[in-house]
Structure 1
Amino acid sequence: MKAIMVVGTTSHAGKSFLTAALCRILARRGWRVTPFKGQNMALNAYVTSTGGEIGHAQAVQAWAAGVTPRVEMNPILLKPQGNMTSQIIIKGKAVGTVQATEYYEKYFELGWEVVQESLYRLSLEFDMVVCEGAGSPAEINLKHRDLTNMRVAKHLNAPTILIVDIERGGAFAHVVGTLELLDPQERSLVKGIVINKFRGQKELLDSGITWLEEKTKVPVLGVIPWSHQMFPAEDSLDLLERNRRRSSQDINISVVKLPRIANFTDFDPLEAESSVSVNYVDIQDSLGHPDAVIVPGTKTTIPDLLAMERSGMAEQIRNYAAAGGTVLGICGGYQILGQRIIDPEGFEGESGEFTALNLLPVTTILSPNKIARQRQVISEFPQAGLPVDGYEIHQGRTRINRRLREENDDYQPIFDDPALGLVDKSQAIWGCYIHGLFDNGAWRRSWLNHLRKQRGMSSLATGISNYRDQREATLNILADIVEKNLDLTTILSNHY
């Protein structure tokens, strides 16, 4: 199997974006292409059709390649959960929670075996793999146990692209320093440099590019201009950028930025709505008076609930709800909106029973046995009969603390499966377990129209396609940008 490797000088340099764009470019040229990231550390996850967890970015890259996401594309996923610990997902399944030093002592050899096995399995079906690195390939204290960067490139003898984010400043130093810290074999694999997120006139950069090529003897493949086009981020660094580009719209939605926020890619479809502004609010900040508040998923529900209580955000949300505001909780956020969360085994730290926000009549009991599966359901609210598909990822089992009557009850199921969520009679308090909920265009517009009606606004059209179609268009735009601005001849010359 032929391969291309994408590494970055830093985190957030654009590796995930470039990997996805290359997958789309190669797929459009007729290649059977697959993405790959040996080990990912992220709280944005996706559930495959077989019930395995992978990084959400690898799912998007698979869609860019025109193939179905599968666990071999991201065989190791680490989900940080505080106190220097992470949950370990191997081949899609949670196998334990360990500290960093323990992880490398116990899992490094197994991890490398899993990486090689996954690449072999992919080689049986695909003729090209585009591999994404993690962080920087030049962390000298970590290189001997790095499962993601140049170890993979050397294993595949993959021509490697080094991408740098020039918007951060220090781009030339980042490139030169990274190359200097690679060993000779690793450096020989680096066939091109990409400068990402450039603002301004490219002519002003030309002298710097000439110097860089002379200094490193590595060609600069091109300069990618800064773009508003959104690509799902892997970490919460991106939320700062999202808040900077927000503006007031017809509907303003605040997402609570929990300390261990997870799956905030759930809200990409809302950000893509031209009439909606999404603002991520730190728990120490004022909630203000938005049209809706969303409590998102979290890797550790109880610690984030306690942090909300200490900061005053929990009380702000209770007061906002009491004043008639609309609150939606997804996954861990749904658990937080309930009455109690019980951790009998101390799965998230200290065992015990914890009082939640008491906005929905549910109790959650945390368990080591994780639920991870795709779901297809039919909506009951805000409009009956809408098909909704998404996926569940949660440790807790949530029970309703009362029997729901057929009609005129204070609470009703949102979907035809009551276990997946509740809404109150006034449709002000919502809680559900489905990630990817807003990907469903008709349901998303129906929910937004409920908010618009409260403000006396006209309704948006509900016959809109799912966000997946818009994502397809975005992936094509991103691929067009890369194809226009990069000369990929050097990288692809050995593959034709």
Structure 2
Amino acid sequence: MFQGTGSNVGKSVIVAGLARALTRRGYVVRPFKPQNMSNNAAVTADGGEIGRAQALQALACGAAPSVHMNPVLLKPQSEQGSQIILQGKVWGQRKAREYQEIKPLLMPAVLESFARLQREADIVLVEGAGSASEINLRQNDIANMGFAEAANLPVVLIGDIDRGGVIASLVGTQAVLPDTDHQRIKGFIVNRMRGDPSLFNAGMRFVAERTGWTDCGLVPFFDRMRELPAEDTEGLASGWQGDGPLRIAVPLMPMIANFDDLDALRAESGVTLAFIRPGEALPPCDLVILPGSKATLADLAFFCDQGWAIDLQAHHRRGGHILGICGGYQMLGRQISDPSGIEGPSAKRPGLGYLEIDTEIAEQKTVRPNRGRLLPSGAAVSGYEIHAGMTTGSGLKRPMIRFADGRADGARSEDGRVCGTYLHGLFDDKESRSAFLSLFGLMSESLDHKLRIESTLDALADHLESHVKIENFLSFL
């Protein structure tokens, strides 16, 4: 099990890289994360939800994503509350304090999922969540040491030197953990070293001598990490990225979901894209994309409070294009209502009014992979749906996509400058991406997005093979 001294120390990326490295060595490997918190979800073939990071790790193993790779997924809907996905399906909603009390009810399912993966693999690489030293959350823990104890796992602790204080964070973790927990830690990795690695030799020796843990490697910063899907918004770069003629602005709302929809676009040589952060105005650009949201009404209110609705009107008057994906698509309609309080307090409010559609947030959730044709071009498109809204209105007579089963999806304005869809992954296939970019006089010049990710995973595995002492942690098994 790989745990961290804190959040965002690189656990997910290291597990993905090691999964690819061990798979290339001939092991059957599976990833596992008992509990994840992310609105960047992936959809399995059987219509379940898991964290995007576990789907990437499954790809690294050459395995199909399974709900058992991430049996508990928490999808934040507010600062204090989350929707709980258990083995791929909605289980309920809880505020943070309430969730701490019900975790023992989830542990049996977590252990069941882990046992399933154990039966089909030589090695299961388990990823912890947050910090191993959160002793205030140790009781009923299912994400870190509580799970390691229940499954009787050796632990490798990961620290991030790039954020500073890594020696203190590693040694301090041992200091605050009870004996039974810190003795479970067998080794440590220091991640994201910049500059001359020999300058930290003494630091590695100090941690090893002070803790008694095995040095499992000092990992230099992996610059291509930005080519892999980010799990949360901290992984999104600020400012304009790229130098292409097509300028795309994406407002960054608090409950943004599935923002990896934009990864393939960001990689295009003809595109310059920026995530617009709160407090910033929507800048002059060619296209504004409203991404998915886990709390559409709350994010719509936030969008308007930021003054972005006024900026969007000016953008549209200047002839600019607008695309909404999932929650962003819902926002572009005339009205959104949540009578049952599915995503928060029961509410209703006007939408932005660019599409002739109305949406009611419903209890039944649609989660499924899908494929079809982009309209009017006919380009093939594939991806997945993950939404709780039922959308109606005359705007649906001009759909954006026709699915293979004959269903229509999304809506387009009469002039074609505003459109929306429920389909995530719209730009992952080069054919559909090229068709969309052709609206702006561009052709896709990038590699196939999926091949780029595969190439990056191979490069990551090479990187870890060079800098992680894989034999050391294999000896812990």
Same fold, TM exceeding 0.5? yes
Matches within 5 A, 1:8-407: 8-105=4-101, 107-229=102-224, 230=226, 231-239=228-236, 242-243=237-238, 246-381=241-376, 383-384=377-378, 386-401=379-394, 404=397
Instruction: Establish whether residue 423 from structure 1 lines up as the match of residue 405 from structure 2.
Output: no
Residue number in structure 2 paired with 1:473: 455
Counterparts of 2:7 and 2:400, CA distance in 1: 41
Alpha carbons 1:399, 1:419 under 8 Å: kept: no
Cα distance in 2 between the residues matched to 1:83 and 1:9: 23
Answer yes or no: is the 8 Å Cα contact 1:318–1:357 preserved in 2: no
The alpha carbon displacement at 1:143 in A equals 0.9
Confirm or deny: 8 A CA contact 1:161 1:192 kept in the other structure.
yes
TM-score (ref. length: structure 2): 0.94
**Match status 1:482 vs 2:464:** yes
In the alignment, is the contact (CA less than 8 A) between 2:39 and 2:257 conserved in 1?
A: yes
Secondary structure of the corresponding residue to residue 124 of structure 1: helix
Q: Name the SS for the 1:102 alignment partner.
A: helix
**Is 1:434 the counterpart of 2:423 in the alignment?**
yes
Distance in 2 between residues matched to 1:170 and 1:472, nearest whole Å: 33
Q: Deviations over 1:168-221 (max 9, x none)?
A: 111111111112222223222322221111111112222222222222222322
Once the two structures are superposed, what CA deviation does each residue of 1:21-41 show, in whole Å capped at 9, x if it has no partner? 111111111111110001111
1:425-465 deviation digits (Å, cap 9, x = unpaired): 443212001111111111112222322x2xxxx6345xx76
Relative to structure 1, the CA distance from residue 159 to residue 274 in structure 2 (aligned partners, 3 Å threshold; closer, same or farther) is farther
Match of 1:407 in 2: none
Once the two structures are overlaid, the 10-residue window that deviates more, 245-254 or 221-230, is 245-254
CA shift in 2, pair 1:342/1:42, >3 Å: same
Work out whether residues 284 and 313 of structure 1, in 8 Å CA contact, stay in contact via their aligned partners in 2: no
CA displacement 1:451-482 (0-9 Å, x = unmatched): 2x2xxxx6345xx7642221111111111111
* Structure 2: tracts of 5 or more residues without a match: none
CA distance in 2, matches of 1:139, 1:283: 30
User: Is residue 4–residue 159 contact of structure 2 (8 Å, CA) maintained in 1?
Assistant: yes
Size of the aligned set, in residue pairs, is 473
In 1, Cα distance between equivalents of 2:359 and 2:457: 38
Amino acid at match of 1:233: A
CA distance in 1, matches of 2:204, 2:428: 41
Deviation at 1:247, TM superposition (A): 4.3
Q: Secondary structure at the match of 1:268?
A: helix
TM-score, L = length of structure 1: 0.91
Consecutive aligned runs of 4 or more in structure 1 exceeding 6 Å deviation: none
Which SS does the other structure have where 1:376 is aligned?
strand
Residue 274 of structure 1 aligns to a residue whose secondary structure is coil
The answer as to 2:401 corresponding to 1:414 is yes
CA deviations 1:344-375 (Å, max 9, x no partner) are 22333343431111111111111111111111
The answer to whether the 8 Å contact 1:283/1:313 transfers is no
The 8 Å contact of residues 9 and 136 in structure 1, kept in 2 or not, is answered as: yes
Q: Deviations over 1:109-154 (max 9, x none)?
A: 2211111111112222222100000000110110112211122223
Which residue does 1:443 correspond to in 2? 432
| Whole-Å separation in 2 of the counterparts to 1:345 and 1:202 | 56
- From the superposition, tell whether residues 223 and 317 of structure 1 become closer, same or farther in structure 2 (CA, over 3 Å): same
Instruction: Find the aligned partners of 2:358 and 2:369 in 1 and give their Cα distance.
Output: 23
